[in-house]
Chains A and B, each alone.
Chain A
Amino acid sequence: MAVETRRRSAVGQSVTKVDGPSLVAGKPVFTLDLDLPGALVGKILPSPHAHAEIVRIDTLEAEAVPGVRAILHFGNVPRVPYTTAGQGWPEPSPYDTVLFDHKVRFVGDRVAAVAAETEEAAREALGKIRVEYNVLPAVLSPEEALADGAPTIHDEPDSEGIYDPKHNIAAAVDIPVGDVARGLAEAPVRAEATGEIPYSQHAAIEPHCVLAYFDEAGRLVLRTSTQVPFHVRRIVARVVGLDPARIRVVKPRIGGGFGSKQEILLEPVAALLALRTGRPVRMSYTRQEVFVASRTRHPMRVAVRLGAGNDGVLQAVDMEVLSNTGAYGTHALTVLSNVGSKTLPLYNKARHLRFHGKAVYTNLPVAGAYRGYGATQGYFALEVAMDALAEKLGLDPVELRRRNHIRVGETSPIFEKIGEGREGTAQIIRSCALADCLRIGAERIGWKEKRGRRRENGPWVHGVGMACAMQGSGITGVDMAAATLVMQDDGSFRLLVGATDLGTGSDTILAQIAAEELGVAVDRVLVYSSDTDFTPFDTGAYASSTTYVSGNAVFRAAQDVRGQILEVAGAALGEPPEVLELAGGAVESRRSGRRLTLAEVGHRAMYVTDQKQIAATASFACPESPPPFAAFFCEAAVDRETGVVRVERFVVAADCGTAIHPQGAEGQLEGAVLQGIGHALYEEMLFAPSGRCVNASFFDYKIPSSLDVPQIEAILVPSEEPTGPWGAKSISEIGINGPLPAISNAIYDAVGVRMVRAPFTPERVAAALRMGGGG
């Protein structure tokens, strides 16, 4: 679609978020804000063992607890292998999970569930379920998982889609382009880096929660905190054994997800408990359960080897990944694939590439989707290796990026070779302002003045580092969104979208996209989102897809409705639609100057002549995934004596095409950067030798607080993406890819040690400094 050049009135404005006032006023908008009379409380019994068979389970004593209404365990629920990943069809994650199994695979795995009248009764009952375990040897690291004779975690006969269950390999990829061994051998300059990222948390403010009940027609309603309502419906139907037509999934306001709610976790349990009891069932994870039993980022070791010419232009890139998917393989293959597919195209000059790796099972918590989705892990190693390469070349790191990054009109073989768990789609870059991002970001941080000139202030040594990143905008060949736009008789609009606003502001920007096309103020477009009974389909809020994919669907629906409005108005005014303009809430004839307000158009269509509903439903399937680009610059200070690292200043210059809502886009960048700073400096789940997580709370798992936030400057560098709605691309994930390498590179600039194992704790930095540093 052609990019409009006329002045925009709704797009590009930081309008009030459509849900802002109700959120600020504390209205009951969240999942569990709805009280249903007679609702039971559902709770889950977690496994105390990392790996064990359940020999016997005795619920007699638990059933006798007053108020207990149902108990679920492997002996009384259907056994349906599935994946908890809320992904498109065909599902790329292995079917290695059943609702309740006779084997447990990590400390915190589901053993049984109870529904009771009160939380106390439910808890008491959990304590009285007698489980006899046959404890098995556990696998607590990816290296152990791959070792000869390692215990097999998934030995069940009915799993599907596991790459090599016997050897604990959930997924594997090996994608060669050219001859990387030769390319590296022949390259005059080589550099490498291996980055390690531990288990980490999404730390959404609202835990996973659901309210399940049967409505007056006997249909199951799931009001749930999810990023993927339509996948919830499909998967719950299959796992619980209900006709999908009998299930309605409603997504109210969500208190954050960051990928952790692209998972079907509590919904089928609550659905079964409601089905068994005939009563509404509320379930919510405690924070400790969120830590252990929801999802985490995939811990990974990524090794990057670069070969370049003396001019700095890359000739060969080898990227090898060892990913720990935990006890189940949800998103195992797709996160693994994204480590390469979202990083390697950024530097598209190398002729020889190889991307290879494995995602392996361990008896540890389950990794899943997390903002950045593998790209974060990949960029850590890649961008530290680029920094090392720049040093070897004696080239400014910014200049090295400038010589290698992809540009408009160019492509990368990786686009076609690696997709979402299968082959990808060839695509050409149609918009890229990365060169501007590099220039603007470098100027803002004072790169030329600061780089390589460590500044000392007592024990504190200051340095600057940088990194680049791209992401995508939706998944090609997978993501599809639809929107229904309806004109009311008063001339206002209803916009029904399957898109799922999880706190990102997507309801607002979708209203803006429609309002722009319809020539009305944003508050004339009422958005209703994510209700599988009432809104059209959408694959969900993940993969940075909503602005681009759902936004394009809305844009198309709005174009259609605009045409219908002009037709009705043309008939009323006796003029051809071509001479009519739609702006300021009215249709006006360029020829005669005669006007018809939208209220008059609505009134006429619904009550007066040729009565009909002005409405349209449009879909958008993602044909390509235009990447947003960003350049990150960081000034860090290192306390040489204690190893404490402080991020003093962080600049991110990002190209998301047109920013539909600039303040929202900046907020996404700032939030993602802060989350990335958390990865770099603080966040790590720790495990006892038993496999139990020992810091499953914010007391001992630290995320940055408002006091820890450095000066973060988010700069939106515009481009026009010709395939995007009003020129827009995505913005939600890319910001998290930069902090790990940029901070690591800044530490190197300051004190000469390469921090490649996250987080860069005082202890690790001090140890590296004592080892002598120098890289």
Chain B
Amino acid sequence: MDGGRIHRFHVARDVEEALSLLSAYGGKGALLAGGVDLLRGPLARVEGLIDITRMGLSSVAEARGGVTVGATSTLTQILESPAARRYVRGILVEVMRAVAVPPLRNMATLGGALVSAHPWADLPTALVALGAEARWRGEKEGKAPVEDLYRGEFRKTFRTAVLIEVSLPPWDGAFAYEKVGRTRYDIALVNACCGLGIEDGTIRWARVAVGARPDRGERLPEIEAALVGREPGEKLWTEIQELVEARVEVGDDRRAGRAWRRKTAGVLVRRALIRAARGAAA
């Protein structure tokens, strides 16, 4: 880390103060939550750090049948919260456990992960699959599904805004998360988060997202549509696996090649669907 130019550290008491400090620095201030990405990133232009972890945004609460997570909640906090454990059969716990290692999870915040939105990250894939909605405050208050944010200029938005919370809607069914990394604490070489709702032996709704392709997690609506109205079973899973292989957009990077990613995406979606179907039927 090269933080040679940082000469001020502020602890913002509330969102207004954080915003006014951010605006006063005019691009030379940085919000500090967990600090994981701040430590990794180039800090050459940063002169002031604004700590936003003491603004009361670190709660995990049940809301409208789903769960609402404050932006500065750490992944450990989420993992250990009763609300997350109860949410859609513990899918948040499953996802958080797949992220890095406990010392990093103790630092990293959900807001940080959402805003950094690394293409190889675990959380964007899960947030998109789960239909998460983000609420933020900048000049005005804003609200949008995470999926829509990622399609737009969200990095620009968050240069002058503070993420407040992330809301995850209720789902009548189950989700599962799958990932392949090089080591247990590694980022994903490819990941998948899938959910199913099953009624009377028929799939009523389906959510399928694949990430670290190496691009960021995105839903595959065509695959979801192919699932709805069908009967879960080996035949369907094989069909879907092949469809994912045919349709998923994958690429090469130094961590893995496109051919392997294509095959593995199909495998992971299949595995996630099988587990989700088991959960949804239970």
Contact = CB atoms under 8 A, between A and B. Distances in A.
Interface stretch (A345-353, A487-495, A704-712): A704-712
Contacts of B254: 686, 694-695, 700
Interface string A565-593: 00000000000000000000000000000
B142 interface: no
A767 interface: yes
Interface in A681-722: 681-682, 686, 694-695, 699-700, 702-705, 707-708
Contact of A705 (B101, B180, B257, B263): B101
Given A120-B4, A641-B267, A642-B267, A682 B256 contact: no
Interface stretch (B183-191, B202-210, B224-232): B183-191
B123 to A, nearest CB: 17
B183 A766 contact: no
A67 interface: no
B182 interface: yes
A699 B4 CA distance: 23
A710 to B, nearest CB: 11
A223 to B, nearest CB: 26
A686 B263 CA distance: 23
A238 to B, nearest CB: 36
Contacts of A767: 259-260
Given A695-B254, A705-B101, A766 B185 contact: no
Contacts of A682: 182-183
Contacts of A642: 180, 263-264, 267-268
Contacts of B140: none
Contact of B183 (A459, A695, A708): A708
A177 interface: no
B238 to A, nearest CB: 12
B256 to A, nearest CB: 5
B235 interface: no
A763 interface: yes
Interface in B164-192: 180, 182-187, 189
Contacts of B263: 641-642, 766
B184 A708 contact: yes
Q: Which of A703, A707, A763 has the most CB of B within 10 A?
A: A763
A762 B4 contact: no
A459 B267 CA distance: 10
B264 A705 contact: no
Contacts of B40: 699
Contact of A762 (B185, B187, B189, B259): B189
A643 interface: yes
Interface in B254-272: 254-257, 259-260, 263-264, 267-268
B252 to A, nearest CB: 10
A762 B260 contact: yes
Contacts of B189: 762
Given A700-B255, A766-B260, A705 B267 contact: no
A485 B264 CA distance: 63
A682 to B, nearest CB: 5
Interface in A32-78: none
Contact of B264 (A686, A702, A762): A762
Given A700-B254, A705-B183, A766 B264 contact: yes
Contact of A761 (B4, B101, B182, B259): B182
A686 B256 CA distance: 12
A676 to B, nearest CB: 15
A707 B101 contact: yes
Contacts of A80: none
A440 interface: no
B219 to A, nearest CB: 22
Given A762-B260, A767-B260, A702 B4 contact: no
A331 B260 CA distance: 38
A644 interface: yes
Nearest to B178: A642
Interface residues of A, number: 24
Nearest to A766: B260
Given A700-B254, A700-B255, A707 B260 contact: no
A521 to B, nearest CB: 39
Contacts of A120: 4
B256 A763 contact: yes
Contacts of B255: 700
A407 B259 CA distance: 49
B4 A707 contact: no
Contacts of A700: 254-255
A766 B259 CA distance: 10
Contacts of A686: 254
Contact of A763 (B183, B186, B260, B267): B260
Contacts of B256: 761-763
Contacts of B185: 705, 707-708
A703 B184 CA distance: 10
B260 A702 contact: no
A687 to B, nearest CB: 10
Contacts of A707: 101, 183-185
A686 B182 CA distance: 15
A179 B260 CA distance: 45
B46 to A, nearest CB: 15
A611 B185 CA distance: 64
A644 B184 contact: no
Contacts of B186: 702
Interface in B196-255: 254-255
Given A686-B254, A700-B254, A705-B101, A762 B180 contact: yes
B101 A702 contact: no
A700 B189 CA distance: 11
A767 B261 CA distance: 12
Interface in B89-117: 101
A704 B185 CA distance: 9
Nearest to B186: A702
Nearest to A701: B182
Q: Which of A686, A699, A700, A767 has the most CB of B within 10 A?
A: A700
Contacts of B184: 705, 707-708
Contacts of B183: 682, 702-705, 707-708
B79 to A, nearest CB: 16
A646 to B, nearest CB: 10
A182 B267 CA distance: 50
Nearest to B257: A763
A644 B254 CA distance: 17
Contacts of A695: 254
Interface in A652-689: 681-682, 686
Contacts of B257: 763
Nearest to A687: B254
A702 B267 CA distance: 24
Nearest to A118: B4
B51 to A, nearest CB: 24
B260 A643 contact: yes
Contacts of B260: 643, 762-763, 766-767
A708 B4 CA distance: 36
Contacts of A641: 263-264, 267
Nearest to A644: B180
A702 B101 CA distance: 14
A661 to B, nearest CB: 30
B175 to A, nearest CB: 20
Q: Which of B180, B182, B254, B259 has the most CB of A within 10 A?
A: B182
Q: Which of B101, B180, B187 has the most CB of A within 10 A?
A: B180
Contacts of A644: 180
A704 B263 CA distance: 25
A120 to B, nearest CB: 5
Given A459-B267, A762-B256, A763-B260, 5 more contacts: A642-B180, A704-B183, A705-B101, A708-B184, A762-B264
13 contacts: A120-B4, A642-B267, A643-B260, A700-B255, A702-B182, A702-B186, A762-B180, A762-B189, A762-B260, A762-B264, A763-B260, A766-B260, A766-B263
3 pairs of A and B residues whose beta carbons are closest in the complex: A707-B184, A763-B260, A641-B267
